């Protein structure tokens, strides 16, 4: 980690998901810097500082928040997708950079939060992405629900 570089937050815990692919309910979801106690959702135009991970990839490390429903347990495992569509960058034949992970969530008040950050790496180096606009799409699926949010963030 270089001088002045932001620290890499602790990674969210993985878990098995066992729910069917049936999502009749919609819930509000959001990505943003964590932890839960200081969480503020990303908003269009926010500048998001990335970090260089342990394997040398440039990445952002959001925490994920899901609106809780009555009867939700204190702990849950949800399927999380992060899709990065970088404006002005060739996504190549494989499409945009994307992450799918089964993540442990913990209830705090009216929300469930990922129990750590999601490591969302990019295939392009930092110097090619600094100042670029990322149309970041978050999709979360759980038992009987899914939620989707897209926000335009500026990478730093």
25-155 CATH, one of 3.90.550.10, 3.30.870.10, 2.60.40.10, 2.60.200.30? 2.60.40.10
Task: For 138-150, give one letter per residue: b (16+ CB within 10 A) or e.
Answer: bbbbbbebbbebe
Kind and range of the H or E run holding 131: none
Domain range annotation of the chain: 25-155
Per-residue pLDDT of the chain (156 residues; tens, 9 = 90+): 445 667 788 999 999 998 888 999 999 999 999 899 999 999 999 999 999 988 889 999 999 999 999 999 999 999 999 999 999 877 767 778 999 999 999 999 999 999 999 999 999 899 999 999 999 999 999 999 999 999 999 999
Which pTM does this prediction carry? 0.92
Contact (CB, 8 A) for 135 and 87: yes
* Burial zone of 86 (CB within 10 Å; 0-12 exposed, 13-18 middle, 19+ buried): buried
């Amino acid at each position: 980690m270089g001088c002045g570089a932001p620290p890499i937050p602790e990674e969210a815990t993985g878990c098995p998901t066992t729910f069917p692919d049936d999502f009749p309910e919609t819930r509000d979801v959001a990505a943003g810097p964590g932890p839960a106690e200081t969480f503020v959702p990303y908003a269009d135009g926010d500048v998001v500082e990335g970090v260089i991970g342990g394997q040398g990839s440039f990445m952002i490390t959001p925490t994920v928040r899901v609106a809780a429903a009555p009867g939700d347990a204190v702990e849950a495992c949800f399927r999380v997708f992060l899709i990065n569509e970088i404006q002005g960058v060739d996504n190549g034949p494989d499409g945009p950079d994307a992450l799918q992970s089964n993540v442990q969530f913990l209830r705090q008040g009216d929300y469930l939060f990922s129990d750590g950050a999601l490591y969302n790496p990019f295939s392009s180096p930092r110097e090619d992405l600094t100042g670029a606009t990322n149309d970041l799409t978050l999709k979360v699926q759980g038992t009987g629900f899914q939620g989707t949010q897209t926000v335009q963030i500026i990478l730093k």
